[in-house]
Chains A and B, each alone.
Chain A
Amino acid sequence: MTVMQRKPANPIAHLSSEDIEEIGKELDAIRDRVLADLGERDARYIRRLIRTQRGLELGSRAVLLFSLFPPAWIIGTAGLSVAKILENMEIGHNILHGQWDWMRDPKIHSTTWEWDHVSPAEQWKHSHNELHHRYTNVIGKDNDLGYGIMRVDEDQRWHPLYLGQPVWNLINAFFFEYGIAAYDLELGRNLKKGRHRDPAFRARARAVGRKIRRQVLKDYVLHPLLSGPSFLSTLAATFTANLVRNLWSHSVIMCGHFPEGVETFEKTSIEGETRGEWYLRQMLGSANISGSRLLHIMSGNLSHQIEHHLFPDLPSNRYREVVPEVRALFDRYGLKYTTGSLPRQVFSAWKKVIRLSLPNRRPRDRASNRSAPALGTSGA
């Protein structure tokens, strides 16, 4: 079985299939060590975080009842923005991954959690946990590669529509949660294929509609109404908070797989993929963001995208702790651990979005690509 690299310089040419399985075993061992160590400290972390987030949200919304006064508007909007970011990233995303299922607390469980987002948890879990995390960076399988509206890899075929992708990406950033909902629904593909009458699709679309209605009613009708004379300013505040959350999460998520240095894979390369090869694909297909403790929490620890992709169901507070071991493993096997500051990675991802809106400058040397050292072939 092969993991075929499509870049001229194959970053894994030096690894034998035994090496790859050994990497898998070492990563399994890291995972088992963390699992065996989970306990009270972790439970306290997530409960305290949830408590803090709820307190912050409630407090900010209370302040916004008086949003007619500019200081109240500023404090309330800032607080609500942070609360929404925490809710989506460090809390919602990670709980929906099953990272906290081990606590057996039905209130903090991937099967019961619903998040402050227009995409229903159930649909997001399918497209994210099942498809994106399984098929990470496999062109044609992982729709997170450009979300179906952008070209973020040379090997994605160019189409004139991609000329507008810097604009699409900007619009997507502003209304990111709606973009995600449409994406989870596979709206574009389902409409194109005329599946809009398919009962299963309609049921899912109705679920999204219901979720959007509830979210809009809360943020743009009820809370403004509760604010009485501050109706309009509260409306503006919740809109701003959602906008800030959208821009932030879009930026963080773009940094996960789009920056330079991240590898992509061919559909055929994952046929019969071993556990070691799956791990290797996660290692090469993800990029981290370096920064402070605060940045890690605000990014839902997606700043540790590499660790998250290796261990999607380990509690996020543990990613930071396994970084040294994971990095040492990268070094030992001569693999590139892609990381950079937030501004650098955001810039790198945007640069790629803009560059790839145009066709490739010169046709790539297909022959040399195809013969790019395939690794782990038996007897290699």
Chain B
Amino acid sequence: MPVCRHHREMTTTVQRPSAPASLRRGLLRLAAAVTTPLLPDDYLDLVAPLRAGADLRGRILEVRPETQDAATVVIQPGRDWQGHRPGQYVRLGVDVNGVRQWRAYSVTSAPGDRHDPITITVKAIPGGLVSNQLVRHAQPGTIVQLDQAQGDFVPPATPPARVLLVTAGSGITPVMGMLRSGALTGADVTLVHSAPTAADVIFGAALRDLAATGSLRLVERHTRDAGQLSLADLAALVPDHLERETWACGPAGLLDALTAHWTAAGLGERLHTEQFRPTIIAPGEGGTVTFGRSGVTVAADGRTPLLEAGEAAGVLMPSGCRMGICYGCVLPLRQGAVRDLRNGSLTTAVPGDGVLVQTCVSAAAGPCDLEH
């Protein structure tokens, strides 16, 4: 859920006398009539993509290497950025090889003035389109698309007395946001962090400094030598772990184990988790096709176009040439995978990707959720 941190400002806008507001609206209408079929925004975007009133975007100011495969990206968000709370993430739309790809990254900078630059820290994962682009190829000056910060992996306003942070790999990123924000200042904080080697620890130097000054107790687990952290290890390292308000971020396996452990102890509400990998879409052959708005679900094989599957189930489908040339049948694929019946190419989508597919030449390649 996006959080409105500037509620007061919004109220003031509403309370303004209505005459200037209606004058402004009139002027905007006039400007739109002058630029039709485009909007004045289409011209303004060319020169001021970060201005107030524009779609939310950001400009990459700097890319700072953190480890051999991780980098911090400094982004100047647009004027309408509402700020973030420590531990939240931001969805980023990056053009990779000409195609817009959306991913979520934790904000690693401390919340400040909402017009200040923010940072995200990205670990390049093997085969990862966006992460490799950001870590290895991103250039200062590049414009990226943004959403407002989201997520409830956020510490409370007054820090709990005792805190445990369990992270692995780039799972450190939201926690770094919390540590930098000062939201945990004064608490007894233990951080158990797993990474393959000492050199792979993102923010290694900063974390060790914090430990040296007594701000937290740092336990680094270098898994290449010591193996993965087990629950028994955790219990041995932090005997009072169940008494600590705990935030954990890492791969699904780790989070599942922690959740089971805390729940078994009846202390599930004390554990807060954040999964950093997006939903993985595993393409297959055929699948269940859901037409969300029509409320219809139908099983389709890997050779039947989604258009025909929908029509056979009585869904009123938009259609055109039925041979893949007119784009009259495109529908948003909310989530799932489809295969192009002409050349077998795969398209996958997770919510927010904004992927449209030609239903007349696409078949289900796994469960598909179409917005229609």
A residues apposed to B, CB below 8 Å: 28, 31-32, 35, 38-44, 51, 54-55, 58, 97-98, 101-107, 109-111, 114-116, 125-126, 129-130, 133-134, 214-215, 217-218, 222-223, 226, 275, 278, 312-313
Q: Is the CB of B355 within 8 A of A125?
A: no
For B342, the chain A residues whose CB sits under 8 A away are 28
**Count, A-B residue pairs, CB within 8 A:** 102
A106 and B345 in contact, given A133-B326, A217-B33, A218-B34 (Cβ under 8 angstroms): no
Q: Is B95 interfacial (CB-CB < 8 Å)?
A: yes
How far apart sit A69 and B33, CA to CA, in the bound complex (Å)? 26
Q: Is B97 interfacial (CB-CB < 8 Å)?
A: yes
How far apart sit A217 and B35, CA to CA, in the bound complex (Å)? 11
Q: Is the CB of B99 within 8 A of A104?
A: yes
Chain B residue at smallest Cβ distance from A223: B34
How far apart sit A217 and B29, CA to CA, in the bound complex (Å)? 13
Nearest Cβ distance between residue B189 and chain A, in whole angstroms? 41
Q: Is B323 interfacial (CB-CB < 8 Å)?
A: yes
Residues 279-303 (chain B) with a chain A CB within 8 angstroms: none
Give the interface residue-count category, chain B. Answer: 20 to 34
Q: Is B314 interfacial (CB-CB < 8 Å)?
A: no
Which residue of A129, A214, A312 contacts B37 across the interface (Cβ within 8 Å)?
A: A214
For B35, the chain A residues whose CB sits under 8 A away are 218
Select the residue from B45, B326, B345 with max chain A CB neighbours within 10 A: B326
Q: Is the CB of B325 within 8 A of A129?
A: yes
Q: Is B356 interfacial (CB-CB < 8 Å)?
A: yes
Q: Is the CB of B46 within 8 A of A103?
A: no
For A35, the chain B residues whose CB sits under 8 A away are 343, 345
Main SS class of interface, A: helix
Q: Is the CB of B97 within 8 A of A101?
A: no
A40 and B36 in contact, given A32-B343, A104-B355, A313-B327 (Cβ under 8 angstroms): no
Main SS class of interface, B: loop
Q: Nearest 10 CB-CB pairs, A to B?
A: A43-B98, A98-B327, A129-B326, A114-B37, A130-B326, A130-B320, A104-B100, A39-B97, A134-B321, A39-B98
How far apart sit A42 and B33, CA to CA, in the bound complex (Å)? 31
Nearest Cβ distance between residue A214 and chain B, in whole angstroms? 5
Q: Is the CB of B330 within 8 A of A54?
A: no
Q: Is B328 interfacial (CB-CB < 8 Å)?
A: yes
How far apart sit A101 and B358, CA to CA, in the bound complex (Å)? 11
For B330, the chain A residues whose CB sits under 8 A away are 98, 101, 110-111
How far apart sit A223 and B33, CA to CA, in the bound complex (Å)? 10
How far apart sit A222 and B36, CA to CA, in the bound complex (Å)? 11
Q: A40-B97, A217-B36 are in contact. List 19 more A-B contacts (CB 8 A).
A: A35-B345, A38-B98, A39-B98, A43-B95, A54-B42, A54-B46, A104-B353, A107-B42, A107-B45, A110-B327, A114-B37, A125-B326, A126-B328, A129-B326, A130-B326, A134-B323, A218-B33, A218-B36, A312-B325
Nearest Cβ distance between residue B312 and chain A, in whole angstroms? 21
Q: Is B354 interfacial (CB-CB < 8 Å)?
A: yes
For A223, the chain B residues whose CB sits under 8 A away are 34
Chain A residue at smallest Cβ distance from B320: A130
How far apart sit A97 and B34, CA to CA, in the bound complex (Å)? 26
Which residue of B98, B100, B328, B356 contacts A40 across the interface (Cβ within 8 Å)?
A: B98
How far apart sit A125 and B330, CA to CA, in the bound complex (Å)? 13
Nearest Cβ distance between residue A252 and chain B, in whole angstroms? 21
